A and B are shown apart, each in its own frame.
Chain A
């Protein structure tokens, strides 16, 4: 397989990013897009791509090599099931699912059908996080006692429009811990392996039927203690992973993921260069600045499909993360 034929389910904020990155990548081709809003689709159809208003129709008809699922949380399980039944590989946006029940359903379908499922945990592609992972694996930090991960950002503090489904706790399945916390818990599990015990609690001041703040204390089997804090309340975004080792302390930071990942000058240079060349050579639309990690993520996913390799994080990694999250939700419920 030289080029991966891709179908995109959902053309919201994340869907658009993936769509634009698909146009940039040489080893993939978008053959179809499904979205409930016809306004989103009209611009896509101008590029000669098939459009559908329902992914139930798109997937069986187009049978793409891979489906990018960038739908609201409550549709993840349904769309993943249809995609796997039709033999399509899946790039699934976070969170994996609303709960363990749905997650197990997806994982079982993936196992039975033998397709590849990758969770879109874009933060694994932040340069400083990858460097940190390398140092941990190479044991250059020495014995690690403590790590902390802070992730302060959310849908209500950005000043952008918030989709209606986010206000529905049933459609969300959880709040800050599930929707944003899955990122940092996934990173900590990626860094330190198996979890021994979990403690944590969640709070809500927005009164939306789900949490907008959560703190989690994880004890790993290798002796590392890690604190993860996620909040949707702060209007000052913060992303900070800190690992305190015997020899040194290492911090991974990112404010605007793409730009600060590669450095502003380099990002601007590549942005101008790539966009101008794409625009002139192929007449393709201009791309947003700062989506570098999503580009790397999609590039990795398509290469895994072409080379027939198992992508990471996969359904099993997703189950582990969701297991941590659900245990905290259960503990918070039982306390109440």
Chain B
């Protein structure tokens, strides 16, 4: 597997007839090549509640389908697994069915895996050393993911109420096979960093076709990289967030998961940042409203003669 970790590829998928062509192009940007000896592959989409990908919250099965096609074109793995675990308000088996992954698995001969039902192993000693409290020390990882020849994370680019950004690092949090993941919420940033240190994906393919910011919006963005920290750094820039203020990103960087030394290849990230539906008063409609309020104020001042002199007298 040859890769350049600092590279992050971006493409505008609307420029391609087929999604698989866009995925192929973005992998080319980061000089990603498949090792011919790959036998097992795990793909981790981001499934959140039972919301379709058009909500900007879950990975589009078409993106997963495209990467599966590309894998099969390049190598002949014995098994491709689609993995996800149960969450506080979501059960993986229902999500697979309702969001179109069960159908995809049938068509493409994939194996759906609920990580909560797999054998778990404790954190490696070097990672465990970073678990600073009893909650973090409870983190276990599914053994199946540690044995994969290739682990691909296919996150959704979106904003998150607790972490600010949800992209590749946050997607890995879904690999912790505990239903009530809320127990980690008080140490969420550290937990994300630890799980990323324990299981680092070999390839990240970000589904930014429809992204959720303030509202869902079509960005037609596909982004790829081999370093989750680098990918999230660019994702933060696109989302209008300061990467240095995203705690789980900085925690992961400090833990040595990856680097923020990034080189973007392909489309310009700024073109996506321009249309990303940012949160906050100063963006989108709020900004327009503020400007129009300022316009009204100026108009009032003009009419009162405070800007361009006194208003001419009306009548005689």
Binding site for B on A (CB under 8 A): 156-157, 159-162, 164, 167, 205-208, 235
Contacts and interface: CB of A to CB of B under 8 A. Distances in A.
Contacts of A208: 97-98
A160 B51 contact: no
A195 B305 CA distance: 67
B134 to A, nearest CB: 23
A167 B94 contact: yes
A160 B89 contact: yes
Contacts of A205: 52
Interface in B82-98: 88-89, 91, 94, 97-98
30 contacts: A156-B49, A156-B50, A156-B51, A156-B98, A157-B50, A157-B51, A159-B49, A159-B89, A160-B89, A161-B88, A161-B89, A162-B50, A162-B89, A162-B91, A162-B94, A164-B91, A167-B91, A167-B94, A205-B52, A206-B50, A206-B97, A206-B98, A207-B97, A207-B98, A207-B102, A207-B103, A208-B97, A208-B98, A235-B51, A235-B55
A248 to B, nearest CB: 33
Given A157-B50, A162-B89, 10 more contacts: A156-B49, A157-B51, A159-B49, A162-B91, A162-B94, A164-B91, A205-B52, A206-B50, A207-B97, A207-B98
Nearest to B50: A156
Interface string B96-122: 011000110000000000000000000
Most buried by A among B51, B55, B88, B102: B51
Contacts, number: 30
Interface string B25-67: 0000000000000000000000001111001000000000000
Contacts of B51: 156-157, 235
**Top 9 closest pairs, chain A to chain B, by CB:** A156-B50, A161-B89, A206-B98, A167-B94, A159-B49, A160-B89, A207-B97, A235-B55, A159-B89
Contacts of A159: 49, 89
Nearest to A232: B50
A207 B50 CA distance: 12
Contacts of B94: 162, 167
A144 B53 CA distance: 41
Nearest to A156: B50
Nearest to B48: A159
Contacts of B91: 162, 164, 167
A206 B52 CA distance: 9
Contacts of A160: 89
Contacts of A157: 50-51
Nearest to B89: A161
B281 to A, nearest CB: 22
Nearest to A233: B52
Contacts of B52: 205
B215 to A, nearest CB: 10
A9 to B, nearest CB: 25
Contacts of B97: 206-208
Nearest to A155: B50
B213 to A, nearest CB: 15
B216 to A, nearest CB: 9
Nearest to B94: A167
Nearest to B93: A167
B59 to A, nearest CB: 17
A53 to B, nearest CB: 23
Contacts of B88: 161
A214 to B, nearest CB: 18
A206 B96 CA distance: 10
A162 B97 CA distance: 15
A255 to B, nearest CB: 18
A33 to B, nearest CB: 25
A156 B49 CA distance: 7
Nearest to B98: A206
A164 B50 CA distance: 13
A224 to B, nearest CB: 35
B27 to A, nearest CB: 31
Task: Identify which of B49, B89, B103 gathers the most chain A CB atoms within 10 Å of its CB.
Answer: B49
Contacts of B50: 156-157, 162, 206
A208 B94 CA distance: 9
A82 B88 CA distance: 35
Contacts of A162: 50, 89, 91, 94
Nearest to B88: A161
A206 B50 CA distance: 9
Nearest to B100: A207
A159 B212 CA distance: 15
A208 B49 CA distance: 15
A235 B89 CA distance: 15
Contacts of A235: 51, 55
A150 B55 CA distance: 21
A97 B267 CA distance: 57
A167 B91 CA distance: 11
A159 B103 CA distance: 24
Contacts of A207: 97-98, 102-103
A208 B96 CA distance: 11
A88 to B, nearest CB: 35
A160 B87 CA distance: 11
Interface in B179-215: none
A208 B97 CA distance: 8
Contacts of B55: 235
